[in-house]
Structure 1
Amino acid sequence: MRNVFLATALCALPVAAGAQSMPDWQSYQATGNPGAMVRSAGTADSVAAWMGKKVDVNSGRINAPVLNGGNETFEPKDIPGASGTAIPNTFWVDRYYSPKSWFITANTTWNVCASGCPYTNPLDAWNAALHATFLNGAWLTISIADGTYNISNQFFTNVTRTQSVQVVGDTANPAKVVLNFTGTKGTNTGGFTAYDGGRIGLIDGVTIQAPTDGSASLASTDPAGRHIWNSQSYGGGIQAYGGGSNIHVGSHVVIRNFYYSMVADNNGVLNAPNGGVTMSVAGDVNAMARGGGVIVCTPCSATDASDYSYPAITLGSNYDAERGGSLYIDGSTGSKSLVSGVVGLTGGHIWAHNMTLSGALIATQGQGAWITGNASAEFSGSNISGYNIGVNAVNGGYASVDSTSIHNNRLAGITADGGRVTGGSATITNNTTYGIQALHQGSVVLFGSYARMSGNGTNFSVQPAGIQNVSGTAYSASSIDVQ
């Protein structure tokens, strides 16, 4: 190797270098002594000194080198996404990669309390949980101690990993853990929101509320008990928007003072399979499934729903399925609604077996069930009383009333106004004006029910065929067939 080095070095020397110092009588090859060579004129080091800086190489390998270098002090550019093929340097890794503490590999609890806990506000704990990565099926429980917590924004997620997060207060008494959402006025925000595929693993043991002093969604309530709502304050206590969005709701939850208590919209899902959700003081609806959304709440309770902000367009229902939404509310209860206990609109689907609907906010205005626009509902085994109309099927709506008790309503127990009502063993009693009414080609067919009709002002009122007195068009008769 040294022979090659020497030949290369010699070839690089100028031909006319008179100062060349390789005496004829000495040979580095022969002596092995670098001191036998002296530097050329104008070079800083002697050849011997330069050779002292060499690296010995054996068979193409450098053995045990010691490398000394400086410190990198500039801001690096070789980060992922930048042009080139550089590997991310430690500056970027330290700054942007999740620290090990954010990986939750076993079931973990973060405590929230007024003082002495890692978190003093539940929303701060939630926002921290958004950064966590969950492995091995681990759960994170945000455990909230008794107390009232003022919260200025909503619990929001649009990621699936929060399906591993549980927000849990006092499951023995949810009234002791109050989440008071103060920022709902004019913001259309709510309490808990899963959006565009976001998921929440569990909400339980909490009261979810907004203030009622006019500073939040609710502006005021008139002497008749009708609510007036602030503009653009239409959020829900618990809401899932968008396909894949899913929230699991436990059986110890109270929701009040939101325009919607619960809403599942645009294929979102709210799942409360063990019931136990109590909803009160709502505007449009306590629990609404819209646009393919699904709510399972078996059983839950809903009361005090009204929006009288614009008296010409009043709203207020306990339960609503519309535009293909679905409600599974078997065993649930509803009361004090301005428009209806249960409403089905534009292809909504409702399963409401063994349900109790116990009266409108204003009896001369409300309906126990209002099913219209090709929506359908099953009320098997239910009890409906205290409304202007008990069950009203309108414009293609369909209601099934097997073994349903419909009583003490003002205008009618059942009305088929262009819709259809069927069932068997229905009990229809003590309705002030009509037991059953059919008009605008409406149809009612009941089996095993005539013997169960009593105390009605008139059992039956059916519109015959006729001529419309304005346009002169003919219409066919409505029909009632009760056996």
Structure 2
Amino acid sequence: MDVQNGTAVSPTLKGGVEISAPSDRPGAAGTAIPNTFWVDRYYSPKTWFITTNTTWTVCRSGCAYKNPLDAWNAALNADFLNGAILTISIGDGIYNLDNQFFTNVTKTEHVHIVGDTAAPDKVVLNFTKTKGNNLGGFAAYNGGKIGLINGMTIQAPTDGTGALASTDRYGRHVWNSQSYGAGIAAYGAGSNIVVGSRVVIHGLYYSMVADNNGGIDAPQGGVAMSLAGDVNAMARGGGVIVCTPCSATDASDYTHPDITLGSNYDAERGGSLYIDGSTGSKSLITGVVGLTGGHIWAHHVTLTGSLIPASGQGAWITGNSSAEFTGCNISGYNIGVNATNGGYASVDTCNIHRNIQGGIVADGGRVTGASAIITDNTTYGIQALHQGSVVMFGTYAGMRANGTNFSAQPAGVEHRSGSAYTASSIDVQ
């Protein structure tokens, strides 16, 4: 090369040529230069790219995997490009699983876990380690996502070796300690699980839980939840569950008889439920409960009685929670709709009938509505106490065969403390 005044003029540089198909691992003896794709594909930590829609099969023999968890764990090591979806297709059979499907990464939103959508009872995921481990079925934590769960039964053993310890002669469930997992759980901000319309959940302490701003989305409904402890479907701590419509039955925890639990649907600590058209039955405490600022949208729900006949509450809305029950049908409880301690319930066009203490009770809460039918309630059609308030329009004509249509507590003085309280009110037109 010529140099004039410190400047290279027309330099020609020659060097090595990269080999496109190297055979040696980086750091090994040899002169080959590994290309970037080779490093990404083979160098630890091992991963691979899924660039088009792909299906991995799971079955007893002849498939890519025999165990659904093995397929799931492999999916956790994949990366997804171009919006590609990986479907883990599970063949008919009972699969005994010793762990849960867990994710805390967003990329698993590209993974669909699908069994038999025509017959979800033919693909059974039996989670055998739910006793004493607080494990469940599917769990997305701290921003983790699952793209779809559909076509399967999610269950735990009910012979005492799972979360459930036993059931007494009244149908009340006793649960093993530290066995409080959920069939499907989304915990933490950004965590989200999509659930298809052909899913059965049975025998776990919670059927579904969305907690601490997590979300569970079943917009096509069809999720059938049964045999739970505290709650079938619970949205807590800003969590959101959409299940329109779903079914929930047989929820009770009688492990400690002085602290009993059991609700079909629960929104608490700012959680939200959207459960239009859903059904609930056989709850020990309540069909639908809103606690401490929970929010419930429950048009056309049907709640058909407690686990112990004529006990419990169809809807219990308390602690500044709110619920809208337009078009509901509630029967077979001690109280049909109970708004307490600042709770608010709207009951437009509801049919509230065949309850014991009252069809509607406002015990320090407020109930409003229009065109409701309130019939055949043994003691009261509507009761208000502890400054409770009920305002109903177009409803009086639909009140019949109640023990007494109305009971409102008047103003008075508390006989021990001498404190005065104002009257409760009922305005029915």
- TM-score higher than 0.5 here? yes
For the 8 Å contact 1:268–1:293, the answer to whether it is kept is yes
For the 8 Å contact 1:334–1:358, the answer to whether it is kept is yes
Matches within 5 A, 1:361-372: 361-372=307-318
Per-residue deviation, 1:469: 1.2
Per-residue deviation, 1:118: 1.1
Counterpart code for 2:43: R
Counterpart code for 2:216: L
Confirm or deny that 1:173 pairs with 2:116.
Answer: no
Could you tell me how far apart the structure 2 residues matched to 1:432 and 1:94 are?
73
Per-residue deviation, 1:386: 0.3
Counterpart code for 1:333: T
Q: Which has the higher helix share?
A: 1
Matches within 5 A, 1:48-67: none
Confirm or deny that 1:448 pairs with 2:402.
Answer: no
Q: Which residue of 1 aligns with 2:94?
A: 148
Corresponding residue to 1:426 among 365, 372, 397 = 372
Could you tell me how far apart the structure 2 residues matched to 1:317 and 1:62 are?
78
Matches within 5 A, 1:274-423: 274-423=220-369
Matches within 5 A, 1:45-194: 94-96=42-44, 98=46, 102-194=48-140
Could you tell me how far apart the structure 1 residues matched to 2:185 and 2:208 are?
6
Corresponding residue to 1:255 among 201, 225, 228 = 201
Could you tell me how far apart the structure 2 residues matched to 1:297 and 1:93 are?
40
Q: 1:96 to 1:408 in 2, by over 3 A?
A: same
Q: Which residue of 2 aligns with 1:203?
A: 149
Q: 1:421 to 1:62 in 2, by over 3 A?
A: closer
For the 8 Å contact 2:184–2:209, the answer to whether it is kept is yes
Confirm or deny that 1:221 pairs with 2:152.
Answer: no
Could you tell me how far apart the structure 1 residues matched to 2:200 and 2:67 are?
19
Could you tell me how far apart the structure 1 residues matched to 2:147 and 2:376 are?
47
For the 8 Å contact 1:363–1:410, the answer to whether it is kept is no
Q: Which residue of 2 aligns with 1:42?
A: none
Q: Which has the higher strand share?
A: 2
- Count residues in correspondence: 410
Q: 1:127 to 1:437 in 2, by over 3 A?
A: same
Per-residue deviation, 1:472: 0.9
SS of 1:96's partner is coil
For the 8 Å contact 2:310–2:332, the answer to whether it is kept is no
Q: Which residue of 2 aligns with 1:69?
A: none
TM-score of the two chains, using structure 1 as the length reference: 0.82
Per-residue deviation, 1:237: 0.1
Counterpart code for 1:251: S
In the TM superposition, what whole-angstrom CA distance separates every residue of 1:337-396 from its partner, at most 9, and x where no partner exists? 000000000000000001100000113431000000000000000100000000000000
C-alpha RMSD of the superposition: 2.3
In the TM superposition, what whole-angstrom CA distance separates every residue of 1:263-310 from its partner, at most 9, and x where no partner exists? 000000000000000000000000000000000000000000000000
SS of 2:311's partner is coil
Structure of greater Rg: 1
Q: 1:269 to 1:73 in 2, by over 3 A?
A: closer
Counterpart code for 1:96: S
Counterpart code for 2:146: I
In the TM superposition, what whole-angstrom CA distance separates every residue of 1:232-270 from its partner, at most 9, and x where no partner exists? 100100000000000000000000100000000000000
In the TM superposition, what whole-angstrom CA distance separates every residue of 1:440-461 from its partner, at most 9, and x where no partner exists? 0000000000010000001111
Per-residue deviation, 1:189: 1.1
Structure 2 stretches lacking a partner, 5+ long: 2-9, 17-23, 29-34
Per-residue deviation, 1:116: 1.3
SS of 1:116's partner is coil
In the TM superposition, what whole-angstrom CA distance separates every residue of 1:140-185 from its partner, at most 9, and x where no partner exists? 0000000000000000000000000000000000000000000111
In the TM superposition, what whole-angstrom CA distance separates every residue of 1:55-109 from its partner, at most 9, and x where no partner exists? xxxx9989899xxxxxx99978xxxxxxxxxx99x9998532545xx21010000
Structure 1 stretches lacking a partner, 5+ long: 2-58, 66-71, 77-86
Corresponding residue to 2:192 among 219, 227, 246 = 246
For the 8 Å contact 1:176–1:206, the answer to whether it is kept is yes
Q: Which residue of 2 aligns with 1:81?
A: none
SS of 1:167's partner is strand
Counterpart code for 1:417: D
For the 8 Å contact 2:284–2:307, the answer to whether it is kept is yes
Could you tell me how far apart the structure 1 residues matched to 2:249 and 2:417 are?
43
Could you tell me how far apart the structure 2 residues matched to 1:273 and 1:426 are?
28
Could you tell me how far apart the structure 2 residues matched to 1:210 and 1:277 are?
17
Could you tell me how far apart the structure 2 residues matched to 1:454 and 1:422 are?
19
Could you tell me how far apart the structure 2 residues matched to 1:63 and 1:363 are?
91
Could you tell me how far apart the structure 2 residues matched to 1:373 and 1:64 are?
76
Matches within 5 A, 1:442-481: 442-481=388-427
Compare relative contact order (CA 8 Å, sep 6+) and give the higher one, 1 or 2: 2
Q: Which residue of 1 aligns with 2:21?
A: none
SS of 2:71's partner is helix
Please identify runs of 4+ aligned residues in structure 1 that moved more than 6 A.
Answer: 59-65, 72-76, 90-93
Counterpart code for 1:416: A
Q: 1:368 to 1:63 in 2, by over 3 A?
A: closer
In the TM superposition, what whole-angstrom CA distance separates every residue of 1:173-230 from its partner, at most 9, and x where no partner exists? 0000000000111111110000000000000000000000111100000000000000
Counterpart code for 1:155: F
